[in-house]
Amino acid sequence: MTILPHRQIGPFQVSSIGLGCMNLSHAYGAPPSPQDGGRLLNRALDLGVTLLDTAALYGGGNNERLVGRAVGHRRSEYVLASKCVLDMVGAQRVLDGSPAAITASLERSLQRLGVEHIDLFYLHRLDKRVPIEDSVGALARAVEAGKIGAIGLSEMSAATLERAHAVHPIAAVQTEYSPMVRNPEVAVLDACRRLGVGFVAFSPVARGLLAGAIKDADYAKGDIRARMPRFVEPNLSHNLQAVRHFNLLAAEQGLTPAQLSLAWTLARGEHVVPIPGTTNPIHLEENIGAASLILAPDVVNRINVLFKGDAVHGPRYPAEAQAQVDTELLPGETLA
């Protein structure tokens, strides 16, 4: 097994690049077969990945089942992360941060994963109807019971992190972060650094925009990007202008666009761990190849300039999904 550089996430030492498992079950068109998904998970472990990130929501629970079946026999080789609050109850997607719902969701996750303990368990979203102290309290009791090892927050603000951390130490905050998506820089990235909280960057290649994967808005059936404002017209054509310059910079550095994006993300701080997802073993190896890259400061600055100001048009999420997100907005950012 390969050994990658490691970083600290709460009590865990993890590979500097982890694996987001979501798209092995849904989100970006037809997922791979369970057999192919299982092979990719095992290949990730062989290549030195030691952080696997799933959630109750992904594939309606099927992603947790896949992880449990495919790599449960290698449980000692990775830190297992999953999430609650966003869940499927029957065929209905629900957001419920009440202690009772969290406790029930955790039990279902343990069963699907085939484990008695989940290393890192996140609140997937902030349920604004429930005080964050109550939601974190439910997970603190799960820590005491030995069912989870550490608590994380997903898509939450610095202010919410402060409140949560006062109830129980928070190990990680997970939020979208890439050269194109800079919202964490408003406050939560620095709050994590100050509090000793790990920052887990999901979609670090901007859902494929910074991986050479998107040329137009011709998405496969079931691809969630078809509903995301910055991935459809008229915003997409504008956003691809900056992407083209980014791709040229990657070529100049002898890197793929995905590697340049991941190297930039890693350069944002020693407490940052990106978790790119992929269904393609070749792309998996490409992503992991960025783990040891160190960008020159002038390259980092050139990337920052590419995505300043008016470079990116459109909100991250459609309105109904944005309403569930607690992450800070950038100065001047609108949701229209």
Residue type, 126: L
> Residue 155 — very low, low, confident or very high, per pLDDT cuts 50/70/90?
very high
Closest by Cα among 294, 273, 284, 192 to 6: 273
Q: What is the percent of the chain where pLDDT is above 70?
A: 100
Those residues with Cβ within 8 angstroms of residue 251's Cβ, 6 or more apart along the chain or in another chain = none
Mean pLDDT of the residues in the chain: 97
Residue 80 pLDDT > 70: yes
Host H or E run for residue 115: none
Mean pLDDT of all residues in 91-120: 97
- The CA distance from 120 to 114, in Å, is 15
Spell out a b/e string for 65-75, using b for 16 or more CB atoms within 10 Å of the CB, else e. bbbbbbbeeee
The 3-state secondary structure of the chain, one letter per residue: CCCCCEEEECCEEEECCCEECHHHCCCCCCCCCHHHHHHHHHHHHHCCCCEEECCCCHHHHHHHHHHHHHHHHHHHHCEEEEEECEEEECCEEEECCCHHHHHHHHHHHHHHHCCCCEEEEEECCCCCCCCHHHHHHHHHHHHHCCCEEEEEEECCCHHHHHHHHHHCCEEEEEEECECCECHHHHCHHHHHHHHCCEEEEECCCHHHHHHCCCCCCCCCCCCHHHHCHHHCCCHHHHHHHHHHHHHHHHHHCCCCHHHHHHHHHHCCCCCEEECCCCCCHHHHHHHHCCCCCCCCHHHHHHHHHHCCCCCCCCCCCCHHHHCCCCCCCCCCCCCC
Residue 1 pLDDT > 80: no
The one catalytic residue in 28, 58, 78, 122 is 58
58 is catalytic: yes
Give yes or no for a contact between 53 and 200, defined as CB atoms under 8 angstroms apart: yes
Residue 42 pLDDT > 80: yes
Residue 23 pLDDT > 80: yes
- The CA distance from 54 to 113, in Å, is 10
Residue 162 pLDDT > 90: yes
State the pairing for strand pair 51-53/79-84: parallel
pLDDT of residue 336: 66
Residue 83 pLDDT > 70: yes
Tokens 């419920």 belong to which residue?
96
58-62, 87-91, 93-97, 113-117: the lowest-pLDDT one: 87-91
Give yes or no for a contact between 68 and 36, defined as CB atoms under 8 angstroms apart: no
Mean pLDDT of all residues in 173-190: 98
- The CA distance from 66 to 34, in Å, is 7
- The CA distance from 64 to 22, in Å, is 9
176 phi and psi angles, rounded to 5 deg: -65, 135
Q: Could you give all domains of the chain from N- to C-terminal order, each with its CATH number? A: 6-322 (3.20.20.100)
Mean pLDDT of all residues in 309-328: 94
Query: Exposed/middle/buried for 281, CB within 10 Å: 0-12, 13-18, 19+?
Result: middle
Residue 238 pLDDT > 80: yes
pLDDT of residue 72: 98
Show the tokens assigned to 228.
Answer: 């995301």
* DSSP 3-state of 20: strand
Mean pLDDT of all residues in 54-78: 98
pTM of the model: 0.97
- The CA distance from 272 to 201, in Å, is 7
> Residue 212 — very low, low, confident or very high, per pLDDT cuts 50/70/90?
very high
